[in-house]
Amino acid sequence: MPRYDVAIVGGGIVGLSVGWAITRRHPKARILVLEKEHCWGHHQTGNNSGEIHSGIHYQPGSLKAQLCRDGNQAMVQFCRDYGIPHEVCGKLIVATEQDELHPLERLYERGRLNGIAAMKLRSEEIREIEAHCTGLAALRVPTTAIVSYRRVAETFADLIQKGNGELQLDKEVKRITVLPFGLLIESSSASYESRFLINCAGLQCDRIARLMGIRTGMRIIPIRGQYYLLRGEKQHLVNGLIYPMPNPCYPFLGAHFNRLLSGEVRVGPNAVVAFKREGYRKMEFDIQDSMELLACRAFWIFARQNWREEGREMLCAFSKTLFLRRLQRLIPEIRPTDLVAGQAGVRAQALMDDGRLMDDFLILQGPRSIHICNAPSPAATASIPIGNAVVDCMQEQGFT
Ligand SMILES: Cc1cc2nc3c(=O)[nH]c(=O)nc-3n(C[C@H](O)[C@H](O)[C@H](O)COP(=O)(O)OP(=O)(O)OC[C@H]3O[C@@H](n4cnc5c(N)ncnc54)[C@H](O)[C@@H]3O)c2cc1C
């Protein structure tokens, strides 16, 4: 049976970044990456907004704030070093109502505490940057950038392979047994032994932790986000990235306008609880995923506390007109016929046993293992420092 020093479960951007970090810090380690799909970055990594976030939004002192700010710089440098197309286009966060002006000031202050430079803009200054956008005031964050994270993940995979790591696609991990001197990892078609395991399974990370008998105090709740595309003749309405003020009670930043590297403009995503973890079509349903969710007390606590917000999101998911009404506060010229349905993504959001949505990244340690149990946005931005942090944790656990 093949033996490895570290096995990584999950070939999304986080698992591959961890793999690349290990090749740099432990060049002699035998690394194995197991991915159940036929390509890298098939789930969250390949279905997101493609933004290299600045870090302005996150609670000062949190892992998200620190790793996102460091990750922004590291990701832009990585793209420069490896010739990955990207653009540091900056973004606008726009207050459209009087009662958003004070929160906008607080966001500016939060950015200052997080070490993020932002400029305050008056209403008329917004138009100088985004000619079709209206607002009472805005923040311009110059360090936000855009990239294809799938392309970044593929580059991490190449680097792992060049560092003698082994990459295996189409290998779904089904069983993990803790042995006296290592771990036995069984996939659908092969078995492996490894001294250490890193769980980067995104939407399935709680299940992988459970395979090892680890009590995480959380489960994954899938939150689907639908995007639209602006029709070609309306793409001139958006120059870069335009965001609304976020709802402070939710860990999502709100549907926004997002120019892609291809020149297309994406609008969205919304945020609706899904009944299939890897379901990309509207109303997709999976018996096991749904039963697990509905049978858990935490879900009902969450539902009771958030029914108003979730209800609004669900209505917007079914009515393009309602969805658009929010966005018309930013660009009033947009009409329902200007939007065509685009792709969707599903966020792996940790729901804690007490019904709270986990706001920060969550990295847990188990026997001979590390489990990335909450890595929603901005984990793609932060993937390089997350990789370094995981190697630090491995060393603390005695990995040499
Ligand atoms: C709609 C949306 C918009 C977003 N926008 C942004 C953004 O603009 N900027 C940003 O920084 N972040 C953004 N994010 C978040 C970002 O995409 C994620 O934080 C990041 O991709 C997480 O990477 P990951 O590797 O943990 O997960 P994933 O990319 O989901 O990878 C996990 C991998 O594990 C594999 N796997 C699962 N189970 C097994 C198993 N049993 N055996 C083997 N393999 C397994 C899966 O197939 C998958 O490939 C967004 C996310 C979504 C959904």
Q: Would you say the CB of residue 381 lies under 6 angstroms from ligand 1? A: yes
Q: Would you say the CB of residue 71 lies under 6 angstroms from ligand 1? A: no
Whether the pLDDT of residue 55 is over 80: the answer is yes
| pLDDT at residue 319, as a whole number | 79
User: What is the position in ligand 1's atom list of the atom closest to the CA of 379?
Assistant: 19
Q: Would you say the CB of residue 94 lies under 6 angstroms from ligand 1? A: no
Q: Using the mean position of ligand 1's atoms as its centre, give its distance from the Cα of residue 206 in Å.
A: 14
In angstroms, the CA 65 to CA 279 distance is 30
User: What is the position in ligand 1's atom list of the atom closest to the CA of 203?
Assistant: 30
Percent of all residues in the chain with a pLDDT value above 70, rounded to a whole number: 100
Q: Would you say the CB of residue 146 lies under 6 angstroms from ligand 1? A: no
Whether the pLDDT of residue 125 is over 80: the answer is yes
Whether the pLDDT of residue 371 is over 90: the answer is yes
pLDDT tens-place string over residues 4-29: 999 999 999 999 999 999 999 999 99
More confident residue, 282 or 11: 11
Can you list the positions of beta strands (E) in 144-280? 145-147, 166-168, 173-179, 182-187, 191-199, 218-230, 241-244, 256-259, 265-268, 272-273
| pLDDT at residue 311, as a whole number | 79
Whether the pLDDT of residue 378 is over 80: the answer is yes
Q: Using the mean position of ligand 1's atoms as its centre, give its distance from the Cα of residue 45 in Å.
A: 4
Q: Using the mean position of ligand 1's atoms as its centre, give its distance from the Cα of residue 336 in Å.
A: 30
Percent of all residues in the chain with a pLDDT value above 90, rounded to a whole number: 87
Question: Is the whole-model pTM more than 0.75?
Answer: yes
Terminal-to-terminal C-alpha distance of the chain? 22
Q: What is the mean pLDDT of residues 187-208?
A: 96
Q: Are 87 and 145 in contact (CB under 8 A)?
A: yes
Whether the pLDDT of residue 318 is over 80: the answer is no
Structure tokens of 147?
Answer: 């990239």
Q: Is the dihedral of CA 75, 218, 110, 131 positive or negative?
A: positive
| pLDDT at residue 252, as a whole number | 81
Angle formed at CA 103 by CA 54 and CA 329, multiple of 5 degrees: 85
Buried b (16+ CB within 10 A) or exposed e, 248-276: eebbbbbbbbbbeeeeebbbbbbbbbbbb
User: What is the position in ligand 1's atom list of the atom closest to the CA of 378?
Assistant: 11
Which of 48, 70, 171 to mutate for ligand 1's pocket (most ligand atoms within 8 Å of CB)? 48
Q: Would you say the CB of residue 286 lies under 6 angstroms from ligand 1? A: no
User: What is the position in ligand 1's atom list of the atom closest to the CA of 172?
Assistant: 42
Q: Would you say the CB of residue 201 lies under 6 angstroms from ligand 1? A: yes
Q: What are phi and psi of 9, to 5 degrees?
A: -100, 115
Q: Would you say the CB of residue 387 lies under 6 angstroms from ligand 1? A: no
369-374 and 362-366 strand pairing: antiparallel
In this structure, the dihedral spanned by the alpha carbons of residues 9, 12, 14 and 16, taken in order and rounded to 10 degrees, is 70
Q: Would you say the CB of residue 145 lies under 6 angstroms from ligand 1? A: no
Whether the pLDDT of residue 248 is over 90: the answer is no
pLDDT band at 325 (very low <50, low <70, confident <90, very high): confident
| pLDDT at residue 283, as a whole number | 84
H/E stretch holding 383: helix 383-396
Q: Would you say the CB of residue 17 lies under 6 angstroms from ligand 1? A: no
